[in-house]
Chain A
Amino acid sequence: QSALTQPASVSASPGQSITISCTGTSSDVGGYNYVSWYQQHPGKAPKVMIYDVSHRPSGVSNRFSGSKSGNTASLTISGLQAEDEADYYCSSYRSSSTLDVVFGGGTKLTVL
């Protein structure tokens, strides 16, 4: 199973906005509205930031938003803050019959 494709790294200054892409196929990202995004700080377990493409769990800042177009999903973080520096992973279901899941390779966000 090939992982979803994410850029290895992105960087920006505090206060700026960034967008992380997550490209799959019509069999996963493009086929389901079940894309989620996870933030992982060093030494910590991942934390869900976006689910079902664009929904934010309670407690997650509204600076985080998600969208999807075709086979590519995107995570946008606006008003970057130092604590946003982390690794970000997208995931999607790949099959509705067996509920297979696939993750992206991860993107390291550096806040300059």
Chain B
Amino acid sequence: QVHLVQSGAEVKKPGASVKVSCKTSGDTFTGYYIHWVRQAPGQGLEWMGWINPDSGTTNYAQKFQGRVTMTRDTSISTAYMELRSLKCDDTALYYCARVGYMEWFDPWGQGTLVTVSS
């Protein structure tokens, strides 16, 4: 069974950066895309982008281009999402999810709460 385990909660000040990790187990890391989705408190799901762990190719939602970088380390089956120039409204639960080519999001990580506050 595939599991995605994310890093722990973070508290950051405005203008700082955060890097969230997503470690996969139970299946081939390079066989699926890893997507990142965030959810602000009381709000809906917002797609941020994906990384192809096999090639390292990325695609970011227009809203986050220039501010987000997704990377991976295949030796430890871990994907990363770094968000820079944090603002208070970046406070959200950040999820990673495994996705086949043009397929559905399954499974999801447990989520990482990022709080941005001065």
The residues of A with any CB-CB pair to B shorter than 8 Å are 1, 3, 32, 34, 36, 38, 45-48, 51-52, 57, 87, 89, 91, 93, 96, 98-106
Contacts and interface: CB of A to CB of B under 8 A. Distances in A.
Given A46-B95, A91-B105, A99-B33, 9 more contacts: A1-B63, A32-B102, A45-B111, A91-B45, A91-B47, A100-B47, A102-B47, A103-B45, A103-B46
Contacts of B106: 47-48, 51, 57
Nearest to A36: B104
A67 B56 CA distance: 35
B56 to A, nearest CB: 15
Interface in B29-65: 33, 35, 37, 44-47, 50, 59, 61-63
Contacts of A96: 102
Contacts, number: 62
A78 to B, nearest CB: 22
Interface residues of B, number: 24
A94 to B, nearest CB: 9
Interface string B80-118: 000000000000000100000111111111110000000
Report whether over half of chain B's contact residues are helix, strand or loop; otherwise say mixed: strand
A34 B105 CA distance: 11
A9 B95 CA distance: 24
B102 A93 contact: yes
17 contacts: A32-B102, A45-B107, A45-B108, A47-B106, A48-B104, A51-B106, A87-B44, A89-B45, A98-B59, A99-B33, A99-B50, A100-B47, A101-B35, A103-B44, A103-B46, A104-B44, A105-B44
A100 B50 CA distance: 9
Contacts of A45: 95, 107-111
A52 B102 CA distance: 9
Nearest to B43: A106
Given A45-B110, A99-B50, A99-B59, A106 B104 contact: no
A100 to B, nearest CB: 7
Given A1-B63, A99-B50, A99-B59, A48 B105 contact: yes
